[in-house]
Structure formats: structure tokens, C-alpha cells
């Protein structure tokens, strides 16, 4: 059984109330995640944002990508230390394809505000279409 089944048709499912998950031992991090599901972000990336948040990833920005959007590709920005990116990547790789998107690129970047580097953030970028 795949953990990505926690999201059915973009609807948040509580695995502790879903009997399909009764036989799966969840890591402590799942149980204590302070980040609840979002409903007000771009619909094309919402499934990935909520999956990452469920696993305790502190997302800070997301975009479904494309013309008129902040990013060219579907992207989720998140905070965390040096290991957080690898944790998020492992979640994404295990989930595979969700809402027609699959993980493509992981990076860590600085944003520049008023000519100063500000906040080191992780970025997980997704690919839609044939494999790159």
C-alpha cells in the first residue's frame, strides 16, 4: 500500500481515522506534525503541499508553475536544516506521481531582498509530462 493514498482526489484523509492504515506503523514525526492541510494554494500543487505538510515539512511557498505564475515549473519551497531536503525528497520519491506531477529537482537557495541574501530555503520542483 502506498502512503500517497492519504490524498484521494485532492481530499485530505486522516490516516488515523482511515482503517486502511491500521496495520502501518507510522514514525513519531507523523503523529506530532504541527502543519495541517492547506486549502488556499494553487490547485495544481495542492496535493504535494499537503502530503509534505502531513509528513512534518514546513512549507512556506508553493506555485503550480506556468505563464503568469511565480515559477516556471510546479514548485514547493520549504524550510529546514541540512537534512530536511533529503527527507522531503524521500517522501516525494516514494509517492511517485501525484496529480500528474513527479519529483524532478531538489535545491537549496537564497532569496535576495533589498540587495541582501535572506533565508536559505529548500525547493522541490516537479515535472509534468514525459520524463525529462
For the chain, the domains span 3-128
- pLDDT (tens digit per residue) in 10-26: 554 554 454 444 444 44
Average pLDDT on 118-123 reads 92
- pLDDT (tens digit per residue) in 39-90: 788 999 999 998 999 888 999 999 999 999 999 999 999 999 999 999 999 9
Cite the beta strand spans of 4-132 per DSSP E. Answer: 7-8, 11-12, 58-63, 75-79, 101-113, 116-128
pLDDT of 92 above 80? yes
Amino acid at each position: 500500500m502506498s502512503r500517497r493514498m492519504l490524498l484521494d482526489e485532492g481530499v485530505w484523509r486522516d490516516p488515523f481515522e482511515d482503517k486502511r492504515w491500521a496495520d502501518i506503523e507510522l514514525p513519531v514525526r507523523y503523529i506530532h506534525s504541527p502543519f495541517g492541510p492547506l486549502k488556499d494554494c494553487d490547485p495544481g500543487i495542492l496535493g504535494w503541499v499537503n502530503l509534505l505538510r502531513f509528513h512534518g515539512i514546513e512549507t512556506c511557498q508553493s506555485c503550480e508553475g506556468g505563464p503568469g505564475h511565480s515559477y516556471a515549473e510546479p514548485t514547493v519551497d520549504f524550510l529546514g536544516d541540512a537534512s530536511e531536503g533529503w527527507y522531503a525528497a524521500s517522501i516525494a520519491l516514494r509517492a511517485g506521481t501525484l496529480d500528474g506531477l513527479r519529483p524532478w529537482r531538489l535545491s537549496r537557495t537564497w532569496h535576495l531582498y533589498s540587495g541582501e541574501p535572506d533565508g536559505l530555503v529548500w525547493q522541490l520542483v516537479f515535472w509534468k509530462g514525459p520524463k525529462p
